[in-house]
Amino acid sequence: MQVVDPERVARELGLRKGEYERILSVLGRAPTLTEVAMFSVEWSEHCGYLHSKQWLEFLPREGRFEVLVGEDAGGIVYDGLAIVFKMESHNHPSQIEPKQGAATGIGGIIRDILGSGARPIACLDSLHFGPLDDPRSCYVAKGVVEGIAWYGNCVGVPTVAGEVWFYPAFRGNCLVNVMCIGIAPRGRLARAVAKGVGNAIMYVGNKTGRDGIGGCSILASQEFGENEEKRPSVQIGDPFAEKCLIEATLEALATGYIVGIKDMGAAGLTCSSSEMAAAGESGIDINLDHVPVREEGMEAWEIMMSESQERMLLCVLKEHEEEVRNIFKKWGLEAEVIGRVTDTGRVTIRYRGEVVADIPAKELVRPPVYVPPRERPTYLDRINDLSLDNVPLPEDLESAFRQLLSSPNLASKRWIFEQYDHMVQTNTVILPGKGTVVLRVKGKHWGIAVTTDCNPFYCFLDPYRGAQIAVAEAARNLASCGAQPAGVTDCLNFGNPEKPDRYWQFTEAVLGLSDACRFFGIPVVSGNVSFYNESPFGAVYPTPTIGMVGIVEEIDKVVGGHFVKEGSIIVLFGETKEEIGGSEYLRVVHGIEAGPPPSLDLSFEKRLQEFLISCVRDRLFLSACDVSEGGIAITLAEAALSGDKIFGVDVDFASCGDLREDVLLFGESCGRVLVSLEEEKLQVLMDRAKHWGIPCVVLGKVQGEHIVLRKGKKTLVRLPVSQAFEIWEGAIARYV
């Protein structure tokens, strides 16, 4: 059906004048309303990567293991198994409707993994909110956590790891980055393709409604304005239907009758049909009269744009449709043949006896590419001009230590992760809060270590170095438990790319990420770009979140991050430098938000990773954890407080150099790891560290009922461990 003014509709759906003119050229005529809708979602920033695609080519794709890069997710191959993983954002929906926004983010990322043919085994999340003393930010944080817990717990995929940050920069636009990991035999992986003339296009899962219409073009590809009501663009999730969809899909894939499969996520049926056709060098002819709908009177454009959840599109070998349909019907799901594969190369959509869209598939999935101006932000010189002479040394370092223990960015996240079922599927070996999480692979002697990392304030101070620090810290976390870093997925969260300073932040972060991963030999196998993360409060901090997966060759040798034995020796690897820029100490204790962020030596980081892996392999450590935000003092506290039993510590920093006491305690120098070990293994460890060229200092012992931090004869902190635990555990809970 021809619309009266398709150009006006195109503008309302976010298409630019030049884009509309290109549509006219592609079609050779004015578009229908359905065609305008389809182009608007497929050419949106969220689906089309208009401003980022060319920069993503810089990311490395090769590593020490076989690399898989698919349509929706990627991974690596180890011991004949594909380990598939991806990270996505659901930022804007979660700011508007926190519970459903976060829940459907979990559902969507699980289906991305399922679409590769892998069984989802674990989820992670990286969350960024405004300060908890802001009522709206607290409401958003509670709703997001509730949504993740509700959906993940019901669907039976454990949420095992992640990170949480609280900064004013995220007050009007939270970040909800979700990651999923799945495994499958190498030969059982699926592709998002439609090919084979006459093969069936099958719709499976839940029915289609009006929820989520325009979510990718209206919601995820624009800034938030004041008083905007976009709640209808948020999808509604059903985790029980998703659980059935997982089992039915895996059962259907096992038949061998599935040629291709794709999640109907962002852009819904438009994205899945057009991208499968283009990937298969084919066409698709679809009749929307056969699409299961749950609302009467839906128009063709609504059906094509809907982002209703728990739906997949399949390409099924002809004459095997009934076998596949019966599998999904058995699980209580919709399963209908809605079209066929053609050799036209076009996506043809029919509804109520009319052709409502007829578009060349490859043109629909080939959005315009923009390279807007880049300009280094003017704030950088000012905010990175920090002199230690202008930072007074606190008279009471114990008071500063207490303040940091109670900072939501450093305090225990138990209130959050205890809401998540992290033991379902019984694969979690090292649990949340106890170090880098490690997952067992049933029937194997090896395991998978997982982590997410990114300090957004470091990236605000220096996007290039901040992104590199995120990669280095993620790799250090994996190596600390004994895992070999193997692959990265990313979620790149930035402001409006049409603003030169925001676009500069993005490009610098991508280059930093690329250079660090290439140096370490870690491939970037998948990811996501989320632009337009802005509100009337301003842009979010640039946040290139890293999700990293590692291989633990012998799972019975992994170590956690918390102390486990009274009397064990505490050792620090790495060098504490005279630097304090970007630290949580500066922000919390002095109210100073300035840099530069810590310096970074990639060569040393790589050597440290290899050294740590060798030590874990030879069972030299009782525990190991990286030193990062909050410095050595907070790392010691976390190691003492996060286990099943809390321990006291008695350490002396006299051998750590002639540094200011606050720098010594709270500086966030990179390339440091804190370990505990039995005394009889100390000399072997010291000799090995010397051989590898790793600075190594004995700090003290795990002992007593206090956290005692000394420098020679001077006691800097002496706090009963019971009080420290109360402060650290209660910091977030008192707000929520």
Concatenate the DSSP letters of all residues of 264-331 into one string. Answer: --TTHHHHHHHHHHHHTT-EEEEEGGGS-BSSTT--HHHHHH---SSEEEEEE-TT-HHHHHHHHHHT
Domain spanning 559-736, CATH class: alpha beta
717 with 398: CB under 8 angstroms?
A: yes
Q: Which CATH superfamily is domain 62-189+415-557 in?
A: PurM-like, N-terminal domain (3.30.1330.10)
Which residues face 182 on adjacent strands?
84, 120
Distance CA 524, CA 67 (A): 9
**Residues acting as catalytic residues:** 46, 90
Judged by DSSP in three states, 207 sits in coil
Domain ranges of the chain: 1-59+191-367, 62-189+415-557, 559-736
List the one residue out of 499, 610, 609, 492 whose CA is nearest residue 58.
492
Record the tokens describing residue 704, joined without a space: 């007593």
Counting Cβ atoms within 10 Å, is residue 734 exposed (0-12), middle (13-18) or buried (19+)? exposed
Please name the residues in contact with 603: beta carbons below 8 A apart, sequence gap of 6 or more.
none
pLDDT at residue 220, as a whole number: 47
pLDDT at residue 597, as a whole number: 97
- CATH code of 1-59+191-367, in short, is 3.90.650.10
List the one residue out of 410, 232, 244 whose CA is nearest residue 305.
232
Element (H, E) at 93: helix 91-96
Is the fold of 1-59+191-367 the same as that of 559-736? Answer: yes
List the one residue out of 479, 469, 419, 493 whose CA is nearest residue 736.
419
Indicate the length of the chain as a whole number: 736
Counting Cβ atoms within 10 Å, is residue 680 exposed (0-12), middle (13-18) or buried (19+)? exposed
517 with 527: CB under 8 angstroms?
A: no
Q: Enumerate residue ranges in the chain where pLDDT < 70.
A: 1-4, 214-233
pLDDT at residue 736, as a whole number: 84
